[in-house]
Amino acid sequence: MNLTVWLTRTATLFVSCMREIFDESAYARFLRRGRMSSSAESYADFCREQAASKARRPRCC
């Protein structure tokens, strides 16, 4: 594998990881699931859903 291909794949993986960490991928899935476009209202709905989901999770300690 040549260096350019390796760097491209590594950069793609890094960007994908960052999108997951900062919830951009989750927001994109939320928009697709609800067949919505990106807007302030849809982002507010996403934040409420995320907060409700995290509140229901049992805590370990």
Residue pLDDT, tens place only, 7-29: 999 999 999 998 888 888 999 99
Tell me, yes or no, if the pTM score tops 0.95: no
- 43, pLDDT greater than 80: yes
Domain range annotation of the chain = 3-56
What per-residue confidence (pLDDT) applies to 23?
Answer: 85
| Residue 7 and residue 14 in contact, taking contact as beta carbons nearer than 8 Å | no
Q: What is the pLDDT of residue 32?
A: 97
